[in-house]
Structure 1
Amino acid sequence: MQFKDYANFHQMLCETVDRHGESPAYRWFDENGEATSVTWQEFYDQVKSVSKSLIALGVGHGDKVNILSYTCYKWVLTDLGNMSVGAGTVGIYQSNLPQDCKYIINHSDAVLVFAENQEQLDKLLEIRNEIPEVRKVILFNGEYDDDWVITYDEFLGLGDDIEDAAFEKRTQMVTPGDTAGLVYTSGTTGVPKGVVLTHDNLTFTCQSVHLSGVFNDGEEMFVFLPLAHVFARTCCYTGVRTGNRTSFARGIDTLLEDFGLAAPHWFVSVPRVFEKIHTKIISGVEAKGGIALKLFHWACEVGGEVSERKVAKKNIPLSLGLKYLVARKLIFSKIHKALGGNVKWCISGAAPLNPDIARFFHAAGLLILEGIGMTENTSFSNVNRQDSYDFGVVGPPGVGIEHKIAEDGEVLFKGRNVMKEYYKMPEETAETFTEDGWLRTGDLGSIDENNVLKITGRKKELIITAGGKNIAPSRIEGMMVTSKYINQFCVVGDQRKFLSAVATLDQENVTAYAVENNIPFDDDEDLLSHPDIQALIDAEVAERNKELASFETIKKVAIVPEFTIENNMMTPTFKLKKNVIMENYEEKIDTLYG
């Protein structure tokens, strides 16, 4: 399959509709678990309706439209209707506070905002007088008695009088270099920047992903990450290219049930989700103890042998294969069932995945292909392949993408997946590219003889101890959160004599430990400062320190409340805002070195 130079995303969508018109395209579930599905032809007809209604509302070529909502079918429908007539889609996380929403709405020059429900509408009503360019708010769900607000059904009716010719004229005006959308960075280190992604960025990236993987007809994808994040959007766009059906989760709270309903063949996630599943499995088995625990350890040992041979592309001896069949049936089948029973592979991205967690799932028969991308390169640059993979690396570059290592160790990229610019930020745009046009990533890494990239850390996160040792904290943090008692872990120690950390507790497992060991407490807060819990965490850290060089070991740990989106210490994609954490706990960190 060769790359095709599409005029715009709408043209790529039309090709898929022509190929797979009567095949299922999207599916979603109501509160009772009842499914609704549309074919590609039905989806396209609805996209046209959205586009016509946007024209009726006066949305012009190059205008920006915001979507303030969790991932859902209407998000994708609105996005593609918007792109088809040359407007740019700008997603806003449903977890954003009103003032954060105001910044993105105003900075992106939005003329319309689509809001998921009353909760999101309330944020807009609070800042209504501060977002004067917004003409209308369209509610995905619910209704509100105000001329400024209309329902989604009312919105769709606005385009009834728009002729097909007007729609087609608008689609033909859209060029490869036109803005398809803005994706605002999560702002872990400062003000969010609006990354301008063009139609060519999207159509090229979809083709590169398609060429870098195996997507069989009839297989289905499951999406639960926020579509305001480029990772989820790129996966949905790739689904348009491949023609596979996408099912949507109803929400994070129903995720496990939704996996069962969707029964996907593959899905994408961030490491945090895999870490949570791993912790739940381990703590559940350890709570049972006895023969169940022994069987589990035996199954992991057998699965580990099989995994090692698969990675090395070695044959699996008959006796080992038979043992593995037993292990799958007795132990690992429960993990597969929890994920719907059909999962063949999944992709982990947006942050480093602990290799031991990847090996655990592979031993259980679930292949996690780690990849890497960033908002500035349409969330895709490298990925392990289904037929050639390893753990602890992010694989070779996608087809048509180049990578190299700068003299200072920074990973650089070049390709048609790379953004056009930061919206209205020319200085920041210039700083992000080298003089000869390579995209700076801020990642540190190395490329081996097979062109496989390994990420070793982040330039901005690199810790330089008082002794002059350069330490990338992400690997250490990934090791520590394999403890079922540790929820989050933030390494500190820049310009200090040794490394310490600020950590949060896995409340469920720590509470169970306290009860089992007769540790008195009235509430969760009591456990944060209890010496027995501190000793437990210190012991867990000490055990993992054995795998580290002496200068990498964590000497002291401060236990604090959970880092959340609400307390501004975590982004909507579950990345820790380390600068905020260190600022907030500055005194506590100082006491570790006192």
Structure 2
Amino acid sequence: METSGDTRSAGGAAARSESGEVRSLVGMLRRSVERRGGNTAYGWKDGGEWRTLSYVGLWNRVRDVAAGLARLGVGRGDRVALMSTNRIEWPLVDFAVQSLGAATVPVYPTVEASQVAHILGNSGAKVIFTENARLAERVASVRDEVESLENVVVIEGEYEDALRFSEVEKSGKDEPLEGWEEGWKALGREDLATIIYTSGTTGLPKGAMLTHGNILANLEGIQAALPTNADDVFLSFLPLSHVFERTAGQYNALWAGAATYYAESIDTVPENLREVKPTVMSSVPRLYEKMHDRVRAMVAEGPASRQRIFNAAIEAGKKRYEHETRGEKVPLGLRLKMKLFDRLVFGKLREAVGGRPRFFVSGGAKLDGEVGKFFHAAGVKVMEGYGLTETSPVVACNRLESVRFGTVGKPLENLEVRIGEGGEVQVKGPSVFKGYLDNPEANEAAFTEDGFYRTGDVGELDEEGYLTITDRLKNLLVLSTGKNVAPQPIEAALATAKHISQAVVLGDGKKYVSALIVPDYETVRKTLGVEKDDRELSQDERVRELIQRDLDEACGRFSDYERPKKFELLSRELTQEDGELTPTLKVKNRVVRDRYEDVIQKLYA
């Protein structure tokens, strides 16, 4: 039993919910169908127009797809893979698979063929749904390596030797599955719902097994912390292949009987926000940082009078937040100021995100506290949370009435969280997964002797129970001077600077910290009044001077040994397509270090 380290715990009380009647995710959906029948469940763009599907319509299509899958031989204990971007067929397949007692295996559309082969083979997938012929071709290239795979289904278009999604659904509609309702009603919380393969930066991905009970317990904890209701409207654009969007978006909305609209793409999010007018949205910090930077840049281009009003409004909003954090009543004068600023400034900012945000959620990486305070001042409450695939995923989140920027909030009520040896965050509770598929060695390493899951993250719990995540254990930089540096907070601070788009902080085993920086080249061009391309600008000494000023300002709050002493500019953004970012837009440090080895050597020459 572990006794070293800070062993303070938070949480532990059972979350209040109406879960007694819900034994599976399919049962959860059925409950919302009975309560919300004709309400919109999903919306999506088709030919430039928004289409919708009601809860009853969703249920009927799930039933038909399930019957079609049963005709392909899918039943209890089987695995069905799904390789697609977000679209209406995603939840149709997900619930159809689960209703048969089988488990859904999401596969990112961006993974290479060798990883597709590993995921399909390791999970024993019997059927795979691919979004289009291009992805079906990728599966076909490794099909001989996957003995379990019997059928490929293409959602959009056609591919040789593959079934069409419409055919599978129609076959189920024409010949309903006898006993289907009895089958899904027999599911229990202990039954496997999904196998999600971790998108780690090293080695082959591991299949985390999540049961219906794991995800339902997480939903109960989320609802107790940040309740949603049938009047809410969600905008979904993070990949459903990742557990964050799947639980906090898809399942959370369906639990409440709310409507979910799929954004057309990440590039159309600003436009879709104005069209859909969501009340709830989940995102990674990158989107909020970009929105923050875009607003700041627009203000900077305006007249000095407008800049003064804007800056005064933001400062007033931060002062209100400080009073609220200390539990103090906001002074009358400040309340009156905020009403004025709401008319002059903040109302326009809220209109840019649809005009009626109740709260947005940030997860997947660290949100810079200044960005959170910026949105909070404008009445757009960004609730930062924390979680992992293995915890279904949410471990902690801020609450509307007690947000604390710089932290990930308090643990969910039905979880026990402690700080173990080396400052590691450790978790126990009903939403912690049952282990990795066919990987006893990884399972043994994943848990402490007394049953806590080892997250691999370094963190602190304060006296009020707020959790702060410093970084990943494996990401900590140990300088040759003996100092430990957590790069994530530094990278988050740099990403908010006016002329910086992305930053990777380096220095493990070295004498000092350095950074690879991708400038925000569009903003740089405006500031300098030049039309040079990105590569030319990356070599321009004037750009280096701008970045140095931004770096000095952004890193002012860090200790001297934590601030990057040197930096090099990269001529292009790090992208998921080039294998440099995970699906939640975290940097794959090993890939970046290998790819820019020559550049890094210059920093330490």
Instruction: Give the AA of the match of 1:192.
Output: P
The range that moved more, 178-187 or 4-13, is 4-13
Helix, strand or coil: the match of 2:275? helix
1:162: Cα distance to partner?
4.0
State the distance in 2 between where 1:543 and 1:7 align: 53
State the distance in 2 between where 1:297 and 1:122 align: 53
Name the count of aligned residue pairs: 587
State the distance in 2 between where 1:510 and 1:127 align: 45
Aligned ranges 1:170-189 → 2 under 5 Å: 170-189=183-202
Structure 1: segments with no counterpart, 5+ residues: none
Who is 1:398 aligned against? 412
Return the match for 1:582 from 558, 581, 593.
Answer: 593
- Pairing 1:306–2:320 present: yes
Structure 2: segments with no counterpart, 5+ residues: 1-15
1:238-287 residue CA offsets vs partner (Å, 9 max, x unmatched): 22222112121121121111112211111111111111111111112212
Helix, strand or coil: the match of 2:61? helix
Distance 1:177-1:216 versus aligned 2 partners, 3 A rule: closer
Who is 2:139 aligned against? 124
Aligned ranges 1:434-513 → 2 under 5 Å: 434-513=448-527
Instruction: Give the AA of the match of 2:540.
Output: H
State the distance in 1 between where 2:300 and 2:156 align: 43
State the distance in 2 between where 1:117 and 1:457 align: 38
Aligned ranges 1:250-399 → 2 under 5 Å: 250-399=264-413
The question of whether the paired residues in 2 share the 8 Å contact of 1:29 and 1:35 is answered with yes
Helix, strand or coil: the match of 2:173? coil
Q: Which has the higher contact order (CA 8 A, sep 6+)?
A: 2
1:351-377 residue CA offsets vs partner (Å, 9 max, x unmatched): 111111101110111111111110000
State the distance in 2 between where 1:31 and 1:291 align: 44
The question of whether the paired residues in 2 share the 8 Å contact of 1:350 and 1:372 is answered with yes
Who is 2:243 aligned against? 230
Instruction: Give the AA of the match of 1:535.
Output: E
State the distance in 1 between where 2:54 and 2:413 align: 29
Name the % identity: 34
Helix, strand or coil: the match of 2:451? coil
Return the match for 2:542 from 521, 529, 532.
Answer: 532
Instruction: Give the AA of the match of 1:143.
Output: E
The question of whether the paired residues in 1 share the 8 Å contact of 2:132 and 2:157 is answered with yes
The question of whether the paired residues in 1 share the 8 Å contact of 2:44 and 2:88 is answered with yes
Who is 2:113 aligned against? 98
- Pairing 1:53–2:101 present: no
The question of whether the paired residues in 2 share the 8 Å contact of 1:207 and 1:238 is answered with no
Return the match for 2:552 from 530, 537, 542.
Answer: 542
Who is 2:30 aligned against? 14
Helix, strand or coil: the match of 1:422? coil
- Pairing 1:553–2:563 present: yes
Distance 1:214-1:177 versus aligned 2 partners, 3 A rule: closer
State the distance in 2 between where 1:8 and 1:304 align: 43
1:173: Cα distance to partner?
4.4
The range that moved more, 284-293 or 174-183, is 284-293
Return the match for 1:201 from 202, 210, 214.
Answer: 214
Instruction: Give the AA of the match of 2:567.
Output: V
Who is 2:443 aligned against? 429
1:317: Cα distance to partner?
3.0
State the distance in 2 between where 1:9 and 1:214 align: 18
1:128: Cα distance to partner?
4.1
State the distance in 2 between where 1:140 and 1:163 align: 21
1:137: Cα distance to partner?
2.2
The question of whether the paired residues in 2 share the 8 Å contact of 1:210 and 1:241 is answered with no
- Pairing 1:220–2:233 present: yes
The question of whether the paired residues in 1 share the 8 Å contact of 2:67 and 2:172 is answered with yes
Q: CA RMSD in A?
A: 1.8
The question of whether the paired residues in 1 share the 8 Å contact of 2:386 and 2:397 is answered with yes
Instruction: Give the AA of the match of 2:574.
Output: F
Instruction: Give the AA of the match of 1:408.
Output: G
- Pairing 1:157–2:170 present: yes
1:315: Cα distance to partner?
2.6
Helix, strand or coil: the match of 1:137? strand
The question of whether the paired residues in 2 share the 8 Å contact of 1:72 and 1:249 is answered with no
1:111-150 residue CA offsets vs partner (Å, 9 max, x unmatched): 2111222333343344444445332222222234x2x222
Who is 1:83 aligned against? 98
1:186-206 residue CA offsets vs partner (Å, 9 max, x unmatched): 122332111110111111111
State the distance in 2 between where 1:175 and 1:195 align: 19
1:407: Cα distance to partner?
2.9
The question of whether the paired residues in 1 share the 8 Å contact of 2:191 and 2:212 is answered with yes
1:148-187 residue CA offsets vs partner (Å, 9 max, x unmatched): 2222221101213544533124324433222101111112
The question of whether the paired residues in 2 share the 8 Å contact of 1:74 and 1:140 is answered with yes
Helix, strand or coil: the match of 2:402? coil
1:374-417 residue CA offsets vs partner (Å, 9 max, x unmatched): 00000111111111221011111112111011132111000110
Instruction: Give the AA of the match of 2:93.
Output: T
1:441-483 residue CA offsets vs partner (Å, 9 max, x unmatched): 0111111222221112221111111111111111111111111
The question of whether the paired residues in 1 share the 8 Å contact of 2:79 and 2:127 is answered with yes
1:302: Cα distance to partner?
2.0
State the distance in 1 between where 2:131 and 2:343 align: 42
Helix, strand or coil: the match of 1:182? strand
1:288: Cα distance to partner?
2.5
Distance 1:307-1:31 versus aligned 2 partners, 3 A rule: farther
1:339: Cα distance to partner?
1.1
The question of whether the paired residues in 2 share the 8 Å contact of 1:117 and 1:139 is answered with yes
Instruction: Give the AA of the match of 1:458.
Output: R
The question of whether the paired residues in 1 share the 8 Å contact of 2:228 and 2:253 is answered with no
State the distance in 2 between where 1:333 and 1:9 align: 38
State the distance in 2 between where 1:428 and 1:565 align: 27
State the distance in 2 between where 1:368 and 1:189 align: 31
Normalised by the length of structure 1, the TM-score is 0.95
Helix, strand or coil: the match of 1:554? coil
Who is 2:9 aligned against? none
Distance 1:234-1:113 versus aligned 2 partners, 3 A rule: same
